[in-house]
């Protein structure tokens, strides 16, 4: 192993494998630690978890992050017939297999910990495999213009199945029917559509390559502000009349409306986990944080652009409090959506979780520009020395959230 992986990554991979395998050898300890229900009482929540996790995974695949090519590659190496299609195909199937493997691990562990019956386990497995096949065929066969509706339809169907499960109305026969419908749609798309990769143009590939470069650079430098998603155009009827700042930030929230669906799916996951017996404080705290974080891209733009702040003419404290109110309202709506599916999760502690999540998201984004000054204490993480102060500044919002959840949970 030392010869194959001549650094500390070998120990990391061994440790990760041990952590992933351990729960299968001590299911009773996992049940006691998590405090979950088992048997027939756990089946609705576990099946809902499977459906919502699959909806999130397949929606992320339908974003087509694998469809990219550098300008140099397109100019000098894109001459062979079918070469581009093979390259994109390998990436797509690798991304698909990674998601299917993660979902398979989650489903297997949840089914064993929950003590699901054999019919429920087989029905859930059939739903997972049929939805995986349908997603792969849709992404590979349909062009981007046609999959905008599919990106909403397939997660919506899986979310509807999850809601039926949480209501206690889902049966293995109904799951098998949905799986059969997915397989029938898979066959229809295979017969009636051709490969979408054949119709991809240079502009699309280069644009996605540029976005990949930006995300890769931001990840290497731990620049959270650069990782925040950019907005989309909004209706021209929205004007910036008084109050200017509030209207501007509302427009910035609406510009990231494409993240409403993932946020709702996260709300469903939190509700399903709570119905299974997991801690509502931790589920609502972490779920609300990651659901709200993409919407803070507008605030990140204000903190990156000093010129924009001068043009607005507002102090940072005014901007901070405006965003605090907006994010608190947003997290409150998200929490209410989750409580509609799991009303039993309503506890007094959730009243403190909502402002905690809002402030944690604000602390993650509302910070000074990155400073890579290495004259102070540094830590080595494999990519060169990283200042400890920079790490603390980068993860200060998440640290606050975890500390608060430990106290509340």
CB within 8 Å of 61: residues ≥ 6 apart? 95, 96, 99, 135, 139
Listed as own residue / partner, the contacts of 396-403 with beta carbons closer than 8 Å and 24 or more positions apart are 396/363, 396/364, 396/367, 397/360, 397/361, 397/362, 397/363, 397/364, 397/365, 398/289, 398/360, 398/364, 400/356, 400/359, 400/360, 400/363, 401/285, 401/286, 401/289, 401/356, 401/357, 401/360
Separation between Cα atoms, residue 18 and residue 396, nearest integer Å: 29
Taking every pair of Cα atoms in the chain, the longest distance, rounded to a whole number of angstroms, is 66
pLDDT tens by residue, the chain, 409 residues: 344 445 566 777 888 888 888 888 888 888 888 888 888 889 999 999 999 999 999 999 888 888 888 888 777 776 555 677 788 888 889 999 999 999 999 999 999 999 999 999 999 999 999 999 999 888 887 766 565 666 678 889 999 999 999 988 888 889 999 999 999 988 888 876 667 666 677 788 888 888 888 888 887 777 777 788 887 877 766 666 777 778 888 888 888 888 999 999 999 999 999 999 899 999 999 999 999 999 988 787 777 777 777 777 777 788 888 888 999 999 999 999 999 998 988 989 999 999 999 999 999 888 766 666 655 677 766 666 677 777 777 788 899 999 999 999 7
CB within 8 Å of 134: residues ≥ 6 apart? 154, 182, 183, 185, 186, 189
Between the CA of residue 366 and those of 224, 320, 394, what are the distances in Å?
11, 8, 10
Q: Is 335 in contact with 351 (CB distance < 8 Å)? A: no
Which residues pair with residue 379 across a beta bridge? Answer: 386
């Amino acid at each position: 192993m030392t010869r194959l992986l001549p650094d500390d990554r070998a120990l990391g991979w061994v440790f990760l494998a041990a952590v992933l395998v351990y729960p299968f050898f001590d299911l009773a300890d996992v049940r006691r630690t998590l405090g979950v229900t088992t048997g027939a009482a756990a089946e609705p929540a576990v099946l809902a978890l499977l459906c919502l996790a699959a909806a999130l995974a397949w929606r992320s695949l339908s974003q087509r992050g694998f469809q990219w090519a550098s300008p140099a590659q397109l100019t000098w190496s894109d001459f062979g017939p079918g070469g581009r299609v093979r390259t994109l195909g390998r990436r797509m199937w690798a991304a698909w297999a990674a998601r299917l493997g993660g979902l398979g691990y989650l489903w297997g562990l949840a089914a064993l910990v929950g003590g699901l019956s054999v019919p429920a386990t087989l029905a859930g497995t059939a739903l997972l495999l049929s939805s995986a096949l349908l997603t792969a065929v849709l992404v590979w066969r349909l062009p981007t213009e046609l999959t905008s509706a599919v990106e909403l339809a397939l997660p919506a169907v899986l979310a509807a199945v999850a809601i039926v499960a949480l209501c206690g109305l889902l049966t293995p026969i109904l799951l098998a029917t949905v799986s059969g419908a997915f397989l029938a749609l898979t066959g229809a798309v295979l017969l009636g559509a051709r490969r979408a990769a054949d119709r991809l143009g240079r502009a699309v590939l280069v644009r996605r390559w540029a976005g990949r470069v930006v995300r890769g650079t931001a990840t290497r430098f731990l620049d959270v502000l650069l990782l925040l998603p950019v907005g989309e155009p909004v209706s021209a009827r929205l004007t910036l009349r008084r109050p200017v700042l509030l209207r501007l930030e509302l427009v910035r929230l609406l510009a990231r409306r494409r993240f409403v669906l993932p946020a709702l799916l996260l709300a469903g996951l939190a509700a399903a986990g709570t119905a299974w017996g997991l801690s509502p404080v931790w589920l609502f705290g972490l779920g609300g944080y990651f659901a709200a974080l993409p919407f803070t891209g507008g605030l990140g733009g204000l903190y990156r652009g000093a010129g924009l702040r001068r043009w607005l003419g507002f102090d940072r404290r005014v901007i901070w409090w405006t965003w605090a109110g907006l994010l608190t309202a947003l997290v409150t709506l998200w929490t209410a959506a989750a409580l509609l599916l799991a009303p039993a999760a309503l506890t007094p502690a959730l009243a403190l979780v909502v402002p905690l999540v809002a402030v944690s998201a604000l602390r993650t984004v509302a910070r000074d520009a990155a400073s890579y000054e290495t004259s102070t204490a540094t830590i080595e993480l494999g990519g060169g020395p990283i200042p400890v102060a920079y790490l603390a500044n980068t993860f200060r919002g998440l640290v606050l959230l975890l500390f608060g959840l430990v106290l509340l949970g």
